[in-house]
Structure 1
Amino acid sequence: MSSTPIDAEPAPEQTGLADLSWPLRTDRLEIRPGREEDAAAIWTWYRLPEVQEWTTALPRSEAEHHERWVAQLTEAVVGLHEDEIIAVGKVARQDAWAQADVAAQARGRQAELGWVLDPAHQGQGLGTEFAAALLEIAFDGLDVRRVEASCFAANTASWRIMEKIGMRREGLFREDSLHRSGRWLDGLTYALLASEHYDPAAHEAPAYGLPVQEPGAAASD
């Protein structure tokens, strides 16, 4: 099922990252939009094998990394700890899938989140703090109704952060993702609605994967 609307109505104007008030401050981080000059600082740790194990792209040089970074600046944010960039992330506004006659109302109504943390700062809760801030940017800043995030199932650190910030596992996809090692790996998708974010107690997690019981059928152990 494609997520691309097929009607021709112009998209309504929506808030972008550049329209928000910056910086955003958490307990230990200062978060702001990415800048072109950030590429060099990020490269010092982004190129490390333990980081490249899970990244989507594999820049072969600092020049290639710089080019890719600049191309994604409209959706990029960075997290600074003690004036050092220790995390990079994205908040990418997306169109929700919709039937053609209501597609205009679904434009830009959700966002995809992603993040990468400097390995030197792992194990301190900074990745979770940064990812939680991305949720706030998406829901409070961009006013989307749903956020999603995906990762390899083997990337335990990433999906644990998704769960820590309240996201719900919505899909486990068996061997759907080709890793650069040549292995086909399982993928995971997590999501959260704005209504759940603001009022977690008002929403029960759906019982995905449980057998459907026909009306009148007896329950069995």
Structure 2
Amino acid sequence: MLMDHWPLLGLRLNTPRLELRLPSEDELAQLADLAADGVHEPDRMPFIVPWTDLPPAERARSVVQHHWLRRGNWAPDNWALNLAVFTDGRVVGLQEITARDFAVLRQVSTASWLGVRHQRQGIGTEMRAAILHLAFAGLGAADALSGAFEDNPSSFAVSEKLGYEPDGVAQWSIRGRRTTMRRLRLARASWEIHQRVPTTITGLLPCLPLFGLTGQAED
């Protein structure tokens, strides 16, 4: 079975409303269709790489290619896990967690997007809480990093609920304009205080070597 060689296919994160897991090929197509339908208002750009400026068909294709690229480039000291987010069996968005030299640094970064029709329903908070549970409870992370441009209040609202604290700023050229990103950091102690979303992890133990880890994990 393919899962014997790529155990991440069996990894599941479950919250009261959501399931996060790698998508099948048909589900990846649904995720691409969701991106083609829109991710944010056209007058702003929340991403460093402006992939949502592509025409809908190219935007959908970029989702598929990016997903394949992340799998193909995976290494235990440099990995990126792109989990599709499901509610009632429907694909609603994508939650990413990445790390370099995780076994030493114990530090992850997260990013995500939701289809426009699934926004403002609390899903963004719940899916980030789920991936943070994987990071801290499952993988033993010490810190989780995030960030958003100053015109993205919804992202900051999610981060505030989950206990993130300011971690400086960075300047980027976005659509030809100087744009300020506010960096955020969540320490393990703060996560323990603010965690509110019940999350279960299944299928993690056989995945640990892919994350550069050995030993026991929550399962």
2:180 to 175, 186, 201: 186
- Relative to 1, partners in 2 of residues 1:34 and 1:20: Cα closer, same or farther, differing over 3 Å? closer
What's 1:58 paired with?
A: 51
Deviation at 1:195, TM superposition (A): 2.4
Deviation at 1:125, TM superposition (A): 0.7
- Relative to 1, partners in 2 of residues 1:35 and 1:158: Cα closer, same or farther, differing over 3 Å? farther
CA distance in 2, matches of 1:21, 1:169: 35
- Relative to 1, partners in 2 of residues 1:65 and 1:196: Cα closer, same or farther, differing over 3 Å? closer
- Whether the 8 Å contact between 1:29 and 1:80 is mirrored in structure 2 is yes
After superposition, the C-alpha distances for 1:149-180 in whole angstroms (9 at most, x for unaligned) are 1221211111221111111122234xx11112
- Relative to 1, partners in 2 of residues 1:49 and 1:131: Cα closer, same or farther, differing over 3 Å? closer
| Cα RMSD after superposing both structures | 2.5
* CA radius of gyration, larger in: 1
SS in structure 2 at match of 1:195: helix
- Whether the 8 Å contact between 2:39 and 2:116 is mirrored in structure 1 is no
SS in structure 1 at match of 2:92: strand
CA distance in 2, matches of 1:140, 1:195: 12
Q: Which runs of 5+ in 2 are unaligned?
A: 1-5, 72-79, 195-219
Deviation at 1:145, TM superposition (A): 0.8
Tell me the TM-score normalized by structure 2: 0.69
SS in structure 1 at match of 2:180: strand
Tell me the TM-score normalized by structure 1: 0.68
CA distance in 2, matches of 1:28, 1:130: 9
CA distance in 2, matches of 1:123, 1:194: 27
CA distance in 2, matches of 1:23, 1:112: 19
- Relative to 1, partners in 2 of residues 1:199 and 1:82: Cα closer, same or farther, differing over 3 Å? closer
Q: 1:109-128 to 2 correspondence within 5 Å? A: 109-128=106-125
SS in structure 1 at match of 2:51: coil
What's 1:140 paired with?
A: 137
Q: 1:82-97 to 2 correspondence within 5 Å? A: 82-95=88-101
1:70 to 68, 71, 77: 68
The aligned length equals 172
- 1:130 and 2:127 correspond: yes
Deviation at 1:49, TM superposition (A): 6.1
Larger proportion of helix: 2
Q: Which runs of 5+ in 1 are unaligned?
A: 1-16, 97-105, 201-221
